[in-house]
């Protein structure tokens, strides 16, 4: 599964042609329906009613079945057909046990690992006993390639039930980037309602897509602002919004911040993309962060494997290591303070601008506050120099935590320090192929 995205902002494909009248008519009808739902949710919230607790029964049954059967298959494959070594599992199970009741969770759980095979997720979760497999409410959410896992309605339904969020990759989609809606969903899954950015007022209900022909990142509907139980990643598709359900508060999210399959001979790590920094810094409260390290699945599904290519190889040595919960304050505390200071700076600037605008219209300027939801950033917080520096450093420190687990597992050469820099991998960005040998280290790369 592919993890969070590159540093580039979410961009859109400018449409050079006008959509057909039938398409526009359909979308206009959908927009009217969304506006009606918006009015209904406004009345719902005005009456003081709570957000829904969980999806419907059918969705819950599908999730139990898919997550459970996937867990059984993964565990059978790991322990029945391969040689598996796991370290730190008892500690990790104890952490999961402490989170079994969603109502008692105090923060989300973020696990972060290297990415060496297309089988990493879900196969590595086969290390968990089967007693965990049929309880999706205490299992991971992750992000996966929209163009593969959500390519058609069948795939979309399957992976949605498997607790996967659709992630657009910039190499395949103009809707990819650091600020796409699925990253917002992941941040909110790690957090709890109400999803109000610290220092800001709750965002008002707004209209959905404003431009039917060329939806942009700004126009993409948000379930908390249009009042539906779904969200869109393109302005035209629709996916269930898991974070709106209160049972998903402080969920477990797993990411692969390398953003692609990287099969290095010494299982060294590429630089981590900035999406992981958003999850670490923007989730409220700060999540428990657990680094992981995986080795061996690259031999199960090596990128150079021959016929039959679609079959995983068996009899391989697989190692999975769970690190300790990161000391958040010691590792990220200073970055969190810098992030909050940057948020406060932007808040004051927007508050002053809002007050100025209100005064010009002869309106009351007291208690004017900008409106912003958790995970929904204004342009200044997306692209300011300070915000970018914070994300770069946060991703670098997270990578060091995963390397620490690799080092403790033993048997590997020390990591090349240049691999942690995005600039090191610039030559690979010129390669148009989806599967290729890295120009940097000769490793097998899969962005398919």
pLDDT tens across 363-394, in order? 776 555 666 788 989 999 999 999 999 999 99
Whether residue 431 is predicted with pLDDT greater than 60 in this model: the reply is: yes
398: phi then psi, degrees, rounded to nearest 5: -65, -40
* Helix (H), strand (E), coil (C) string for 378-410: CHHHHHCHHHHHHHHHHHHHHHHHHHHHHHHHC
Whether residue 204 is predicted with pLDDT greater than 60 in this model: the reply is: no
In the beta sheet, which residues pair with residue 263? Answer: 444
State the average pLDDT over residues 152-163.
Answer: 96
State the average pLDDT over residues 153-182.
Answer: 94
Given CA atoms 175, 7, 292, 416 in this order, what sign does their dihedral have?
Answer: positive
* Helix (H), strand (E), coil (C) string for 141-171: EEEEEHHHHCCCHHHHHHHHHCCEEEECCCC
DSSP code, position 127: G
State the average pLDDT over residues 258-276.
Answer: 96
Model pLDDT, residue 106? 96
Whether residue 65 is predicted with pLDDT greater than 90 in this model: the reply is: yes
User: What rounded mean pLDDT belongs to the chain?
Assistant: 84
State the average pLDDT over residues 76-95.
Answer: 98
Distance CA 448, CA 443 (A): 15
Any idea which residue has 């006008």 for tokens?
18
Q: Which residues of 281-303 are buried (b: 16+ CB within 10 A; e: fewer)?
A: bbbbebbbbbbbbbbbbbbbbbb
Distance CA 175, CA 55 (A): 27
Record the pTM. 0.84
Contact call for residues 120 and 446 (beta carbons, < 8 A): no
Whether residue 85 is predicted with pLDDT greater than 90 in this model: the reply is: yes
Whether residue 198 is predicted with pLDDT greater than 70 in this model: the reply is: no
Model pLDDT, residue 362? 78
- CA angle 403/172/20 to nearest 5° reads 150
Tokens of 135: 């309880």
Which of 164-178, 344-358, 424-438 is modeled with the greatest confidence?
164-178
Contact call for residues 29 and 208 (beta carbons, < 8 A): no
Contact call for residues 410 and 29 (beta carbons, < 8 A): no
More confident residue, 361 or 423: 423
Report how far Cα 437 is from the mean position of its chain's Cα atoms. 27
Contact call for residues 436 and 425 (beta carbons, < 8 A): no
Radius of gyration of the chain (CA): 22
Model pLDDT, residue 365? 62
Tokens of 212: 């039917």
Contact call for residues 223 and 373 (beta carbons, < 8 A): no
Alpha helices (runs of H) in 12-152, residue ranges in sequence order:
21-46, 57-81, 89-98, 120-123, 130-133, 146-149
Peptide bond into 295 cis (omega under 30): no
State the average pLDDT over residues 126-136.
Answer: 97
Which of 222-236, 252-266, 423-437 is modeled with the greatest confidence?
252-266
Q: Which of 187-201, 363-377, 393-407 has the weakest average pLDDT?
A: 363-377
Banded pLDDT at 175 (limits 50, 70, 90): very high
Whether residue 162 is predicted with pLDDT greater than 70 in this model: the reply is: yes
What is the three-class DSSP state of 242? helix
Banded pLDDT at 199 (limits 50, 70, 90): low
Tokens of 366: 């007291």
Distance CA 162, CA 179 (A): 23
Q: Which residues of 9-23 are buried (b: 16+ CB within 10 A; e: fewer)?
A: bbbbeeeeeeeeeee
Nearest 10 degrees: Cα torsion 218, 223, 227, 229? 150
Q: Which of 202-206, 242-246, 407-411 has the weakest average pLDDT?
A: 202-206
Whether residue 399 is predicted with pLDDT greater than 90 in this model: the reply is: yes
Banded pLDDT at 405 (limits 50, 70, 90): very high
Whether residue 35 is predicted with pLDDT greater than 70 in this model: the reply is: no
The full set of domain ranges for the chain reads: 21-332
Tokens of 393: 């450093």
State the average pLDDT over residues 247-261.
Answer: 96
Contact call for residues 374 and 282 (beta carbons, < 8 A): yes
Whether residue 227 is predicted with pLDDT greater than 90 in this model: the reply is: no
Q: Beta 140-145 vs 164-167: how paired, if at all?
A: parallel
Whether residue 118 is predicted with pLDDT greater than 50 in this model: the reply is: yes
What is the CATH code for 21-332? Answer: 3.40.1130
Banded pLDDT at 37 (limits 50, 70, 90): very low
Task: Give percent of the chain with pLDDT exceeding 90.
Answer: 65
Contact call for residues 398 and 276 (beta carbons, < 8 A): yes
Positions of E strands within 153-222: 164-167
Model pLDDT, residue 172? 83
More confident residue, 357 or 410: 410
Contact call for residues 142 and 162 (beta carbons, < 8 A): no
Contact call for residues 262 and 2 (beta carbons, < 8 A): no
State the average pLDDT over residues 238-243.
Answer: 93
Model pLDDT, residue 39? 44
Model pLDDT, residue 361? 79
What stretch of H or E contains 235? none
What is the three-class DSSP state of 265? coil
């Amino acid at each position: 599964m592919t993890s969070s995205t590159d540093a580039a902002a979410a961009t859109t494909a400018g449409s050079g042609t006008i959509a057909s009248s039938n398409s526009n008519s359909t979308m206009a009808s959908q927009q009217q329906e969304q506006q009606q739902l918006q009015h209904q949710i406004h009345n719902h919230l005005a009456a003081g009613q709570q957000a829904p607790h969980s999806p419907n029964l059918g969705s819950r049954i599908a999730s139990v079945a898919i997550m459970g059967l996937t867990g059984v298959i993964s565990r059978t494959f790991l322990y029945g057909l391969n040689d598996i070594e796991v370290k730190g599992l008892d500690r990790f199970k104890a952490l999961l046990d402490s989170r079994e009741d969603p109502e008692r969770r105090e923060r989300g759980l973020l696990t972060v690992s290297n990415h060496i095979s297309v089988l990493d997720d879900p196969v590595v979760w086969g290390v968990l006993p089967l007693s965990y497999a049929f309880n999706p409410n205490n299992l991971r959410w992750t992000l996966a390639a929209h163009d593969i896992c959500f390519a058609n309605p069948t795939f979309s339904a399957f992976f949605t039930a498997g607790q996967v969020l659709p992630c657009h990759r910039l190499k395949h989609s103009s809707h990819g980037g650091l600020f796409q809606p699925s990253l917002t969903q992941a941040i909110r899954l790690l957090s709890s309602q109400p999803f109000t950015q610290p220092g800001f007022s709750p965002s008002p209900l707004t209209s959905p897509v404003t431009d039917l022909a060329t939806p942009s990142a700004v126009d993409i509907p948000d379930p908390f602002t249009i009042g539906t139980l779904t969200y869109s990643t393109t302005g035209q598709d629709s996916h269930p919004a898991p974070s709106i359900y209160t049972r998903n508060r402080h969920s477990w999210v797993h990411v692969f911040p390398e953003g692609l399959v990287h099969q290095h001979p010494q299982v060294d790590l590429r630089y981590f993309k900035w999406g992981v920094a958003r999850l670490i810094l923007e989730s409220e409260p700060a999540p428990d962060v657990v680094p992981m390290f995986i080795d061996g699945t690259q031999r199960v599904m090596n990128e150079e494997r021959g016929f039959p290519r679609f079959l995983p190889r068996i009899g391989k040595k697989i190692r999975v290591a769970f690190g300790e919960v990161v000391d958040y304050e010691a590792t990220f505390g200073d970055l969190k303070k810098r992030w909050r200071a940057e948020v406060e700076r932007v808040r004051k600037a927007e508050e002053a601008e809002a007050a100025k605008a209100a005064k010009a219209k002869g309106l009351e300027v007291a208690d004017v506050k900008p409106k912003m939801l958790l995970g929904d950033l204004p342009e200044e917080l997306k692209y300011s120099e300070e915000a970018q520096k914070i994300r770069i450093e946060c991703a670098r420190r997270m990578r060091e935590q995963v390397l620490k687990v690799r080092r403790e597992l033993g048997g590997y050469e020390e990591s090349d320090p240049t691999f942690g820099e995005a600039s090191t991998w610039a030559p690979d960005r010129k390669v148009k192929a989806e599967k290729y040998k890295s120009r940097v280290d000769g490793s097998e790369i899969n962005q398919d």
